[in-house]
Structures are given as C-alpha cells and as structure tokens.
Chain A
C-alpha cells in the first residue's frame, strides 16, 4: 500500500519514450513526423512545447490522445500514465480514457462548441459519459466547473447557447469541459492563439491557476515562446519531429543551448541583429545531413553532417540535441 502510494506520487503523470510516428509517402520511404520523442510531465507541472508550424506539436498531442490524423502510424514507442504502461489510450480495454484522464483543448473556442447544444448540455454530456453521474448530479458538477473557470452568472450560462458567448467565455467553457472529469493531464494545443491579447492573458492566468490548484500535469503547445516564458515551468523545443532542447524555464531563458532555441529567442526578443547573426547561409552539400537542423544552423561542422546528435543530458533536468551546444549567445 505504502509502496503503491509512493510510486503513484513519484511517477510522472505522463511519460513518453521513443514515440515515433510515420506517414507513408508515395513511392518513397515513409516520412518520420515524430522521431523518438522522450518526454515526461509531473503532476502540477506545466510544460511548454514550442516549435514552428509543421514541427509536429499538434501531432504529438494527437498521438497522446490516440487520434493520429490521416494515415499516420505509430511506429514504435511507449506511454506510461501514472507509472503504468498504456498500450494505446482509447482502446476499450485501456484504463486510460481520452477526455477523462487526458483532456485536450484546441484553438478557436467558438468552433469547438456545438452550435445547437446548450453550454450545460455539452458539459454534462462529457461528465455523464465519463463519470456515470445522473442528470441532476452532472448539472451540479457542470455548475461547479463554470464557477471554477470564473464565468459570471453560471446558473444562467448553463442554458446559454454557444453563439451567445464571447470568444474568451467560450474558451473558458472549453476548459471547463476539459477539466470536468479531473484529468491527470491537460493538453492545450495553441488554444488561446485565436483570442485577443488581453483575453488570452486572462484565460492563461486562469488555466495556470487551475493546473496548480488541481495538481494537473499540463502540456501547453504554442508557437509563441513568450507565452511559455510567462506560464511554463519547463520548455521543450521541437524541431522537425525531434525534441532538440528540454530545460527548466529560468535556465532556458538565461542560456539557451541549442542553436535553434537561440533563433527562436531572437524572434521573441525582436532582435534583428541577433537573428541575422544566427541565420545560416544555405548549406552546400549533396548528402542529406545527419542533424535535422544542419541546413539552418550557423554552427554546423563536418561532424553534424556525418553523425546525428543524440538528446543528451548536459545538466540536471536539461537536455539538448546538439554536438556543439551554445554556451554564450552573443
């Protein structure tokens, strides 16, 4: 009993090992869209996943939810939820259920709600299905959730239609749905990018508070590295389907180690000189380089073309995938 407890407390909520997803390509090798992702998130921890469009951020989220889009295929990899291996979540025999144990919110909140169902119905649908509650209890819980996401006049909002809500309100409702069944992990896939800046801040503040309060593990996917600087405990940088850097927030922003991280930071700081300094001249080589970032890297050496860098520990809690990590930016 005691042992089980400690394991439960110490194991990360979600642990991904060597997660690899490939898409078939006409008359060619399959394209590896996610290459051996290793990532773990603890309870109450908020991890920011940053990368440009096409890096595989959304695909990673969908893979965790067992909802890989298109004809992509999970080639290999393992997932643990609270220390117990899960084959694929969502299978009937899996104890881990999407929506209950792992919840996800995506961008454009107005479109995420069904226009012909009231807010209350949409929340209670999820609650009743996952928690097997009766009508009245589910409604009571939905009301609690609306209060938790600080929606004014929650009783009335239960009977409101989605088109009667502002974007920020709709996003709060979506968060309420995601958190309604006390999930262990919440993934936010660029969820606030459609909102204007002040509303985005309010929603993120609320989200952060809820995550800390409920001890939920959170994965915050974004293109905006500034968002992670404010809200995340740890930053993970994804480039072309690979984790290239993983570091605690302060360490990361003090001294990014991967050349790509520096480039992202330059954009964040609106520093033209920094960006120019870290943008590489086009690569002139016939062989496709072993490091996926080599084509855009100012620090590449012959070794980068010949040998793929591994994701290695450089300090406690810090990993970087580079042969020649950056020590000083300027």
Chain B
C-alpha cells in the first residue's frame, strides 16, 4: 500500500517536472543563433516576406509569450511543425522514437549479456586470466568511440566479408514497410506475418546493436565487478563462506547484492543512449530520434528539438520510476 502512495506522489510531480524541462530547453534553444524564418525562405527573400513569416510563426512576440503559446499547444498534443520535413513533429517522432528505442533496448540487452557474466566471473576469480581480460575489456570499451567501432565493424562485415547488409536504414529499402503498430519493426513485422521484413530488420540490427552493445558492456562490466568485489569482501559473505555454503550460493548472494547498482547503471545508460546513440544512428542511416533532433539543432528547426527533449524526458521519468520500484522490491530495508 505504501508503494501505491509512493507512485501517486511521484506521478503528481511528473507534470511540473516536464514543464520545467520544457522551459529550460525552450529558452536554451532560443539562445542558438539563426532565424528560422530566414532559413526557411532562403537568402533571396525580401525583408517583408521574412517579417510576414516571423509574425505568422509568432516569432515577433516576446519570448515569454512564445513559451506560453508553445506550452498551450503541447497541452493539446500539438508539438508544432518541422519545417525541414514539413510534417507535424508528433508524427515524425512517433515514427523515429521507436527506431531509437528498439536499437537502444536491444543494445543494452546485449551489453547486459556480455557485461554481467564477465563481471561476475572475473570477480569470483580474482587472479585468473579472465580477470585480466575483463579489466582490459573494461578499459578498452571505455576508450573506444562508438562511431569508430561502428565504422570498423562496417568495414569488416560489410565491405570485406560481405556478411552484413548495407548500413542504410532499419531494413532493406526494396521491401514494403509493415504497418506501424508498435513502431518496432521486429514486432510489427511478426504481428503482420511479414517474415521477409523481420529477417531483413534483424540483419540490419546486428551491426549497430553489436556496436552499442560492445561499447556499453564496459560500464556494466565494471559496475558488476566492483560491486561484486565489495559484496564478496563483506562480513556476511565471509560468514556465508565460513558456514560452508557452496560457491554458487555465495556467488548468487553477492550478485544479488550488486543488483541495485547494475539497475542504476542500466537506467542511466538507457536515458543517456536515447540521445547519444546519434553518431551510431548517423553511421547506419538509422533515421532515429537523435538524428532528427540534431538536424533540428543544426537548422534552427526548434520544434523537433523541443519535441525530442519532451519525449526523452518522459522516457527518463518512466525509467527512473521503474528503477525506484525495482529498488523497492529488492531492498527489504525500504519496506518498513
């Protein structure tokens, strides 16, 4: 019951939090030089035409008024238009956000599948070769830029070995895209029984997921290893060992103790990658949300940027709520 009260309290703060985030990003973006009206009309536009468009777009109003107009629109579900794509931002984002989510989610699953077993095993065998490998891996993964790794993987698997498909989008452009239901191509194609799209999408996912997975396994490995190390040298693990409990029980208990930290790092990575997978998205022509937002910033196309920030913020809030619920479930000390 306490948990329900906790969730209610959290949800109460969601709206003010979102308004705050939108406000900060709104005014920051307005600081970026560049007049959208000039950019839209091109260099040969007359001053009159520019002034006209400016008043049409509300750009002649005071900044604070502009903000409240935007806020009012957002409340009605209108995120404005992107002048680059000439689509409503909401439509654009609903198309692109799932692409990024799919990529990031699968990448993090791979990162977990690499990082956790390696972290656990290297922590249990502190003197083995595996430990040295894990330490080296952690160091390397922390130092490698993801887009560089992406280019190397493309070079090896596409250019040289010709196993992977061309790094152009989420599935072969020869195929007719499936209806958008969830936004995840994998799921949508399965729902519609479009196995050609499914296999193609899977193939296109391999290299970008490998890139982000390999790089982000580094921090997961490090966190797992260090929290396992700490747990293994704790008094209660020493007591469990002295009580003669078998190795696998000791390992399970130590892993259990490091779960909260692993969840924390995963949630941070998740929120972070939504925006920062952009370089990898660009390399693979992914058409994701990060790419969309960056194009917006570069072209003084304000609405896509604000829309992206709003989406990402909502996602982060959801992720952190889930994390808090998991902590709650994991630690008996919070359930008084």
Contacts and interface: CB of A to CB of B under 8 A. Distances in A.
Interface of A: 65, 67, 90, 97-100, 103-104, 106, 108, 111-118, 125-126, 129-130, 161, 163, 174, 177-178
Interface string B168-201: 0000000000000000000000000000000000
Given A106-B235, A111-B236, A113-B236, 17 more contacts: A100-B244, A108-B235, A112-B235, A112-B236, A112-B238, A112-B239, A113-B239, A114-B240, A114-B257, A115-B236, A115-B332, A116-B256, A125-B249, A126-B244, A129-B246, A130-B244, A163-B333
Instruction: Name the residue among A104, A112, A178 with the largest chain B CB count within 10 angstroms.
Output: A112
Contacts of A113: 236, 239
Main secondary structure of the interface of B (DSSP, over half): helix
B235 A111 contact: yes
A110 to B, nearest CB: 9
26 contacts: A65-B242, A67-B241, A98-B242, A99-B242, A103-B243, A106-B238, A106-B239, A111-B235, A111-B236, A112-B238, A113-B236, A113-B239, A114-B236, A114-B237, A114-B253, A114-B257, A115-B331, A117-B253, A125-B240, A125-B245, A126-B244, A129-B245, A129-B249, A163-B332, A174-B239, A177-B243
- Residues of B in contact with A, size category: 20 to 34
Contact of B244 (A106, A108, A112, A129): A129
A98 B256 CA distance: 24
A105 to B, nearest CB: 8
B332 A116 contact: yes
A123 to B, nearest CB: 10
A126 B235 contact: no
Nearest to A101: B244
Nearest to B259: A116
Interface in B241-266: 241-246, 249, 253, 256-257
B234 interface: yes
A100 B245 CA distance: 10
B11 interface: no
Interface string B11-55: 000000000000000000000000000000000000000000000
B57 interface: no
B243 A99 contact: yes
Contacts of A161: 332-333
A65 B235 CA distance: 16
A116 B330 contact: yes
A67 B332 contact: no
Contacts of B235: 106, 108, 111-112
A99 B256 CA distance: 22
Nearest to B241: A67
Given A111-B234, A116-B331, A98 B244 contact: yes
Contacts of B237: 114
A113 B239 CA distance: 8
Nearest to B257: A116
Contacts of B257: 114, 116
Instruction: Name the residue among A100, A114, A161 with the largest chain B CB count within 10 angstroms.
Output: A114
Nearest to B332: A161
